[in-house]
Amino acid sequence: MNIGKFLTQSARSIPQNPAIVHGSSMWTYAEFNERVNQFANALVGLGVAKGDHVALLMYNGPQMLEAMFACFKVGCGAVPINFRLHPNEFTFIIDQSESKVVVATAQFNLALKQHRNQMSQVHHIITTSGADEELLDYETVLSGAASEFEDAELAPDDVAWLFYTSGTTGRPKGAMLTHRNLTGMTMNCLADMCPGCGPNDVTLHAAPLSHGSGLYSIPNVARAATHVIPDGTSFDPANVLRLIEQHRVTNIFVAPTMLKRLIDCPDLDHCDSSSLKSVIYGGAPMLVEDLTTAVAKLGPCLVQLYGQGESPMTITYLPHRDHVVNGDHDRRRRLASVGIPRTDVEVAVVDDNGRQLPSGSCGEIVTRSDMVMKGYWQNPGATAAALKDGWLHTGDIGRFDECGYLFLMDRSKDMIISGGENIYPREIEEVLIRHPAVREVAVIGVPDPEWGESVKAVVSTTSGTSVTDQELIDFCRKHVSSYKKPRSVDFVDEIPKNNYGKIMKRVLREKYLHGK
């Protein structure tokens, strides 16, 4: 088992199909595979062997996909890193993962050199440009290597991807995703998210390849679909819409905040997006009000996933067929859920003692499947806390309804306990987003001498509107119990998000650590 073989097979069976489109350049599957083979040979030449780790600190681009698949073929674990991280954070990951080689976009040359002595295992740094005596040049390394490569023979439990958790709640941990995990994820994606995906399909990598978009490149490679990789490092909704129309994109993975920006983009009204078959969104909550607008504008091509790095892209899904708004109350209610367990995935809700709870009861969400990680790299304590009797404990709180739809309340760390009452921020966020002046909202608990914690709403407003904190508090009172209403509202221009579009509640909480 080696997921690198997905590429080898696609290149063998349909060599002339376009594999990667980037700007005005295009590479066929034969060319993509040849470059990956060359890079795989180059890595081996630099001393990388099966079981080693190679860090990828790269902007989205063809070289990121090449380096990733080269790692798979060699049988070393790829360590894709969020390129927005601070140098202290990415050096921590490079060092903790014991990476032997770092492949980096040129923009990181200086920082990598400055922090070199903190990355004890690194033998070589390969840069996309600006090489010197300390840094090797990507194209030179690649072009000097042979274009044939024998994909490594691997065991299913060999690590393919060391997925560092996005760190919205603490120091990142490296979830060991094996070739079995990513094969399972691939099959599940092809079953549930992009059924029928094939060589005529086109995917667009609007989100970072170091996270969801990179994971979903694997099923698309396995089906010889075309990968369109936009230029630039930030999400540009108008450009994404233009590329969807130009390349007749059929599937795309986006974070909810990206989906919201796409549907708010005025260009959507005159863009031909009819080629879209699967707009896969997930990785963070999508509020019902926003989702209803998305369904009205994009229709039944939407499909939601609920997953986490430890069970990549694969716990539950809200299928295409549930993305309907027709006035039916039950259907609208379902839009607030994260859907049903993925094919071949077990999901349960358990109490503090690990006992399964009946539908309707709230507890921790646990999952068991071939997709669940092997454990955290060099972190047996965290592994033992997360994996119990073969079940992954997600740290998310939820409940099933009587039809088997899972409603995710919040991460347990985000739950607010005020005056002994549990308050789920999402419930209040769902209310506030319905106020016409609210563009984005995050609800958090802040220390309170009387209640332990109190509810604070952090709000960014829609341009051209104005609203006071008291008006928003009164608006909440009309829709939720009084004890859940925010005690304070702060207005900000932008709510802090990480590179993957997730709201950084930890950063917000730190800001209000001393109350108010």
Task: Provide the angle, in degrees to the nearest 10, between the axes of the packed helices 4-13 and 62-74.
Answer: 110
The contacts of residue 464 (CB under 8 Å, 6+ apart) are none
Is 193 within 8 Å of 215 (Cβ atoms)? no
CB of 366 to ligand AMP, least distance (A): 12
CA distance 425 to 445: 8
Segment lying near ligand AMP (by CB under 6 A), choices 104-112, 260-268, 300-308, 430-438? 300-308
Q: Is 157 helix (H, G, I), strand (E, B) or coil?
A: coil
Looking at beta carbons only, is 66 or 364 nearer to ligand AMP? 364
354's CB contacts (< 8 A; 6+ apart) are 366, 388, 389, 391
Q: Of 4, 283, 398, 445, which lies in the binding site for ligand AMP, with binding defined by CB under 6 A?
A: 283
Rounded to a whole number of angstroms, the minimum distance from the CB of residue 85 to ligand AMP is 13
* β-bridge pairing 202-204 and 226-228: parallel
Binding characters for ligand AMP, 389-428, by CB under 6 A (x = yes): -----x-x-----------x--x-----------------
Residues 308-327 touching ligand AMP, rule: CB under 6 A, are 308-309
Chain centroid to Cα 112, Å, comes to: 25
Instruction: State the number of binding residues for ligand AMP (CB under 6 A).
Output: 16
Q: Is 219 near ligand AMP (CB under 6 A)?
A: no
Instruction: Indicate the residue among 35 and 173 with the shorter CB distance to ligand AMP.
Output: 173
Q: Contact 234/207 with Cβ under 8 angstroms?
A: no
CA gap 240, 75 in Å, rounded: 34
Smaller CB separation from ligand AMP, 74 or 408 = 408
Answer yes or no whether residue 166 interacts with ligand AMP by CB under 6 A. yes
Binding region for ligand AMP (CB under 6 A) out of 2-10, 36-44, 301-309, 444-452: 301-309
3-state secondary structure of 370: coil
Please tell me the distance from the alpha carbon of residue 448 to that of residue 467, in angstroms, as a whole number: 25
Q: How far is the CB of 449 from ligand AMP (least distance, A)?
A: 30
**What is the DSSP code string of 54-89?**
EEEE--SSHHHHHHHHHHHHHTPEEEE--TTS-HHH
CA distance 313 to 293: 24
Record the tokens describing residue 18, joined without a space: 């376009």
CB of 227 to ligand AMP, least distance (A): 21
Residue among 193 and 243 whose Cβ is closer to ligand AMP: 193
According to CB under 6 A, which one of 165, 169, 239, 462 is a site residue for ligand AMP? 165
Exactly one of 235, 306, 400, 407 binds ligand AMP (CB under 6 A); which one? 306
| Cα–Cα distance for residue pair 408/398, rounded to 1 Å | 4
Residue 515 neighbours by CB under 8 Å, 6+ apart? 446, 447, 448, 449
Among 159, 279, 338, 459, binds ligand AMP (CB under 6 A): 338
Residue 80 near ligand AMP by CB under 6 A? no
Distance CA 178, CA 3 (A): 10
Per the structure block, which two tokens stand in for 72?
């798979």
Strand-strand pairing, 340-341 and 311-318: antiparallel
| Rounded least distance, CB 429 to ligand AMP, Å | 11
Residue (44 or 175) nearer to ligand AMP, CB: 175
Q: Is 184 or 309 the residue whose CB approaches ligand AMP more closely?
A: 309
Residue 82 found at the interface with ligand AMP (CB under 6 A): no
Query: Does 304 participate in binding ligand AMP (rule CB under 6 A)?
Result: yes
Is residue 367 part of the contact set for ligand AMP (CB under 6 A)?
no
- Kindly state whether residue 498 participates in binding ligand AMP, applying the rule CB under 6 A: no
> Among 118-126, 281-289, 322-330, 483-491, which window interacts with ligand AMP (CB under 6 A)?
281-289
- Give the binding site for ligand AMP (CB under 6 A): 165-166, 282-285, 304, 306-309, 338, 394, 396, 408, 411
